[in-house]
Amino acid sequence: MVTSEVVDPAWAERLEDQVRSLKGLAALATVLALAGLGLSLYLLLLRDEGDRGASPERVARLDDRVDRLEGRVGRASDETEVTRLEDQLAAKADTQSVQDLSEEVQLLQASLDDVSSGDDSAVDAVVQLDERVDALAQQVEDLSSQSAP
């Protein structure tokens, strides 16, 4: 036996009403989406026209200011470096002082050779040279302490 289901005629009408309602809601959502898109494009274009960034004059002023500051920094570091190098150079012994010290060392070496041979005058010469070397060392130390910052 075949049974047939009874279809409620009101059911078909309710289904049609729901489909119409969904179509209307979809159309409304589409219209709202297009309106939002149009508004966002309008605001985007409006913002681009009004927001052009810094003016060329302001950029030029800032560039000049940066150049001036870079020049100051460069000069300040150069002056400090030059002063430091001049101080180091002043603390160094000159060529004549080095040559004199070298000659005195040679004389001392000769005197030591004489002392080892037993000459009394050589002992006096060594003592004198020792005093002179001490005096020279004191002068060098004084000069170094004067040039130290």
Domain boundaries, the chain: 93-149
Say if residues 103 and 129 touch (Cβ distance below 8 Å).
Answer: no
Residue whose pair of structure tokens reads 């605001």 in the numeric block: 43
Residue 30 has a pLDDT of 95
**pTM for this predicted structure:** 0.30
Least confident span in 1-5, 7-11, 69-73, 107-111: 1-5
> What secondary structure letter does DSSP report for 6?
P
User: Dmax of the chain from CA atoms?
Assistant: 155
CB neighbourhood size of 19 (10 A): 10
Q: What is the mean pLDDT of residues 13-17?
A: 88
**Has residue 121 got a pLDDT over 80?**
no
Residue 110 has a pLDDT of 78
**Has residue 142 got a pLDDT over 90?**
no
Integer Cα distance of 91 and 146 in angstroms? 9
Residue 89 has a pLDDT of 76
**Has residue 31 got a pLDDT over 60?**
yes
pLDDT band at residue 52, thresholds of 50, 70 and 90? low
